Amino acid sequence: MIEIEIKVRADHAPVLDRILEMGALKVRTEDHLDVYYNAPHRDFAKTDEALRLRSVNGGTRMTYKGRKLDSVSKTREEFETPVDGTAAKGILVSLGFFESGIVKKTRDIYSYGDLTICFDSVDGLGEFVEVETVADSDVDLHRERLFDFLESIGIKKEDSIRTSYLEMLMEK
């Protein structure tokens, strides 16, 4: 499955007002603790990959994100599965993987048709909005649809950010 995601730095209030006027519905609020790991055999920062354990409201999911597939969004192949957080960390460390960073955030999730709109408050970075969808094909078409949606709520294509929260925190 390909996750097509566009992220922008934005104050939440005006964007939230716009999407609610359009009919978006709140799904839930989540507190995320993301622990990222790097591999002993290659540097994920250099290969543009990510491996993380995400703890959310008492559960843990392991996620692998492949290289970004274009130069304007965060579109990439993604695999995710529920895991026992303690066991998964033990397996990773035993195999030589090591912690490369931690991101803490609160995420308010909204739904608008087949789009997911996330309002992220990231510790140490501030407020962001992510719009995403998933696709098996026609990735370019879906990505342009996301940019069109953002335009409809007053956010320009050139405002998109491809840098991950982890990269932003490491640059600080």
Q: Classify domain 2-171 at the CATH topology level.
A: Hypothetical Protein Pfu-838710-001 (2.40.320)
The residues facing 29 across adjacent strands are: 108
User: Could you give the residue ranges of the DSSP H alpha helices within 23-118?
Assistant: 44-47, 85-94
Catalytic hit among 36, 37, 110, 165: 36
pLDDT along the chain (172 residues), means of 10: 91 97 97 97 94 96 92 86 98 98 98 97 98 88 94 94 93 87
> Are the C-beta atoms of 6 and 88 separated by less than 8 Å?
no
The pLDDT of residue 73 is: 80
Whether 112 is catalytic: no
Residue 133's pLDDT is 93
Q: What pLDDT, on a 0 to 100 scale, did the predictor assign at position 103? A: 98
The pLDDT value given to residue 139: 87
pLDDT for the residue numbered 98: 97
Q: Where are the domains of the chain?
A: 2-171
How far apart CA 49 and CA 128 sit, in angstroms, is 21
